[in-house]
Structure 1
Amino acid sequence: MIRHACKDDCLQLAALSIKVWFDTYAVEGIKREYAQYALATFTESYFSSLLDSPDYNLLVVEKEKALQGYALLNMNSHYQSTNNGFELEKLYIDTVFKGQGLGKQLLKAVEHEFGKAYWLYTWVENESNGFYLHLGFRKIGQLNFEFAGTQIENNVYQSTPI
């Protein structure tokens, strides 16, 4: 079932985020700076503040009261112009449930409720690049940022209707 997140979900969202973040980015093991970032960022209060903000929307996919993934939307984040729509800031699916269509279901729910114009970025080494290209997303740029003294390259994608 896909639904809007609520305050009761915040602890589970924090734990799910930490799990997915480490599965995705800690490919060489858990480095100190990774642990510091994930544990400081993905907290119950972080998700509570997102739910309180009018700029964010958060959809979760749940089965039998267990969260399996979520989509976090930043409605006021734009890449280059407002024509690219809002930002899909995170699409996190628990690794255990990857390949079951949950990401695609969340994207359909996002488009149905919030519109088909949105953008996202993902690490160039992330397997999700293939997922987005398979769904017809167009690469429209590159976004780099510094993390722990290293420049991280990201591909920027524009949605196309699913």
Structure 2
Amino acid sequence: MTDHPDLTLRVAEMADASSLAALSVEVWVATYLREGVGAAFADYVLQEHTPARMRAVIAAPTSHIIVSQNRMGIDGYIRVDMGAPAPVPGGPDVEIRTLYVQPRHHGRGLGRSLLSAALAHCAKQGVPAVWLASNAENLPAKRFYLSQGFDRAGETAFVLEGQSYLNDVFVRDCGLAKPPAD
């Protein structure tokens, strides 16, 4: 499953909120701010990824967060939101809103393990399919999702202060509890 012998996957708890917020800032900045930090992006990331917002998500009955924890702390998480319609015709209404793994832990199977756990949770809830959006320029993420059985279903945009950023929309059936091995 992973090469982390001390890996634990578990449902997020309120006490995880600050760790999840810090991890979110780290991954978001490392992924999307490649050419410097502009005020709009800095304001967005610092307002969006706060302990208070994470506590609200953890408490929300429509959200489910699974964390990956090693002996030192949380190194990744996946967030599933029910009742979040896909921005493509006929798409599912359950979104994998976030799948973040600390960059230094990439390539060790954490993302695969978190995705597998989330899909198993969705299947147990009777969810037939899920969707997610990934920045169109994030080639490693796109390759990962395609390798895990997702199909590109269309596109949408992330809009920040009037600027639009293209995102690909991916859909996957939840009938299988485990994604295909890569």
Which residue of the partner structure matches residue 20 of structure 1? Answer: 27
Other-structure match for 2:13: 6
TM-score of the pair, normalised by structure 1: 0.94
- Give the alignment of 1:48-59 within 5 angstroms: 48-59=55-66
Count of equivalent residues: 162
Deviations 1:104-153 (A, max 9, x none): 00011011122262110000001201111122210001011321332110
Match of 2:137 among 125, 135, 138: 125
Pairing 1:1-162 to 2, within 5 Å after superposition: 1-79=8-86, 80=88, 84-115=92-123, 117-126=129-138, 127-160=140-173, 161=176, 162=179
Provide the TM-score with structure 2 as the length reference. Answer: 0.84
- Asked whether the 8 Å contact 2:156–2:169 carries over to 1, the reply is yes
Tell me whether 108-117 or 81-90 shows the greater mean CA deviation: 81-90
- State the match for 2:3 in structure 1: none
Q: Secondary structure at the match of 1:130?
A: helix
Q: Which amino acid aligns with 1:120?
A: L
Gap change, CA 1:104 and 1:29, over 3 Å in 2: same
Deviation per CA, 1:41-82: give whole Å up to 9, x if none.
100100100111111111100001411100011111021467
Consecutive unaligned residues in structure 2, runs of 5 or more: 1-7
Moved more, 41-50 or 147-156: 147-156
Superimposed CA distance per residue, residues 85-112 of structure 1 (whole angstroms, 9 cap, x where no aligned partner): 4100000010010010100000110111
Letter in structure 2 aligned against 1:27: R
RMSD: 1.5
Amino acid across the alignment from 1:140 = A
Q: 1:17 to 1:137 in 2, by over 3 A?
A: same
